[in-house]
Amino acid sequence: MIVTVTPNPSLDRTYELPGLVVGEVNRAAADRLDPGGKGVNVARALTAAGLRAAAVLPLGGDPGRLLGDLLRRQGIDVTAVQVGGDTRINVTIVERDGPLTKVNAPGPRLTEDESAALLAAVRRQAGGSGVDWLACCGSLPRGLAPGWYADLVAEAHAGGARIAVDAAGPALAASLRAGPDVVKPNRAELAEAAGRPVTTVGGAYDAAQELRRLGARQVLASLGPDGMLLVAEEGSWYGTAPVDRVRSDVGAGDASLAGFLGAGGAGPKALASALAHGAAAVRLPGSVMPIPADLEPDTVTVTADIPWELPLGR
């Protein structure tokens, strides 16, 4: 089983528009409401793939109750920690053949008691029998220190589980020192963590190796439409998955992490699974997670020959 931890979950409201006109009344062609938050999405993608997943998260107010209900309806084992502040609501605007605009709310501030209760809930779930991975994903809410994920890395390893961290900024930097089994930065997060721009696949490889020197055992780097890179002690691989039309990239990176962990969490086959899941996710509306029928594994290419000079963001 894979246990996901989402310290700052959300309800994700997505509006699809022909085009966004700032300062005017815009009428959506379609809209949807989905459970949100990186770890939540990983759990949803694993469940959609027929794998067992549990989600640990703080929930507050009416938005929190609705989020918990939506997850349970999708067959996800939810461990909810009740908090006083309302769960945040994020808004995404998808323009047809245009850019994607997101507005992410800050979320509630957790008290010391709420923070302690969340940590205790994670310990109970991660300490259970049959837990293969603990996936800690997303931003930390106000009230949690940057080293919170690092503490979980140490505890997971002490309990015999492997741990994945998908975070940014100080939370990612702190977690590296504890030696997570895999981190999943995107291009911007990779550059920030390494302290230098990333403009080519070779540059992404060098930055990933820097994260490994800082403590990560594997780096699964998402390069957006330019593919993904997996850098580990056993070897390094680069892969791509073509997508004709992007409908929404909300949650695509989370689907990729789910595909990677669900396929064992190491090596080229897991990278291929990550690419297939991510490509399937961007073809779906809102933050809908792909089911096996949505995947196109035959279109995925993975190679150990790194295209060092290939520019990113072309």
Q: Where are the alpha helices (DSSP H) in the chain?
A: 38-48, 61-73, 112-126, 148-158, 169-176, 187-194, 201-213, 252-262, 267-282
Q: Is 247's pLDDT higher than 90?
A: no
Q: Using the structure block, give the residue that is written with the tokens 């949807």.
A: 32
Is residue 242 one of the residues assigned to a domain? yes
Q: How many helices (H) and strands (E) in the chain?
A: 9, 14
Q: Is residue 312 one of the residues assigned to a domain?
A: no
Q: Is 215 part of a structural domain of the chain?
A: yes
Residue 210 belongs to some domain of the structure: yes
Predicted pLDDT at 314: 65
Segments forming the whole domain that contains residue 171: 2-19+28-303
- C-alpha distances in angstroms, 211 versus 99, 191, 227, 233, 310? 31, 10, 19, 12, 21
pLDDT per residue as tens digits for the range 121-178: 999 888 777 889 999 999 999 999 999 999 999 988 988 889 999 999 999 999 999 9
Average pLDDT over residues 243-270: 93
What pLDDT digit, counting tens, does each position of 41-85 carry?
999 999 999 999 999 999 999 999 999 999 999 999 999 999 999
What's the mean per-residue pLDDT of the chain? 94
Give the number of domains in the chain. Answer: 1
132 in active site: no
DSSP class of residue 162 equals: E
Cβ-count burial of 62 within 10 angstroms (0-12 exposed, 13-18 middle, 19+ buried)?
exposed
Residue 182 has pLDDT above 70, yes or no: yes
Residue 313 lies in a domain: no
Task: Please tell me the predicted confidence (pLDDT) of residue 130.
Answer: 84
Tokens of 68: 């918990």
**Amino acid 99: pLDDT:** 83
Q: Which region, left, alpha or beta, applies to residue 289 given φ > 0 means left and ψ of -120 to 50 means alpha?
A: beta
199: CATH: 3.40.1190.20
Cα(199)–Cα(240) distance, rounded to whole angstroms?
17
Instruction: Exactly one of 226, 254, 294, 298 is catalytic; name it.
Output: 254
Structure letter (DSSP) for residue 220: E
Would you say residue 128 lies in a domain? Answer: yes
List all residues 6 or more positions away from 4 whose beta carbon is below 8 Å from its beta carbon: 39, 40, 42, 43, 46, 53, 54, 55, 56, 134, 135, 136, 137
Residue 311 lies in a domain: no
Give the residue among 39, 64, 44 at the shortest CA–CA distance from 114.
64
d(CA 248, CA 246): 6
**308 domain-assigned:** no
Closest CA to 142 of 111, 183, 121, 171: 111
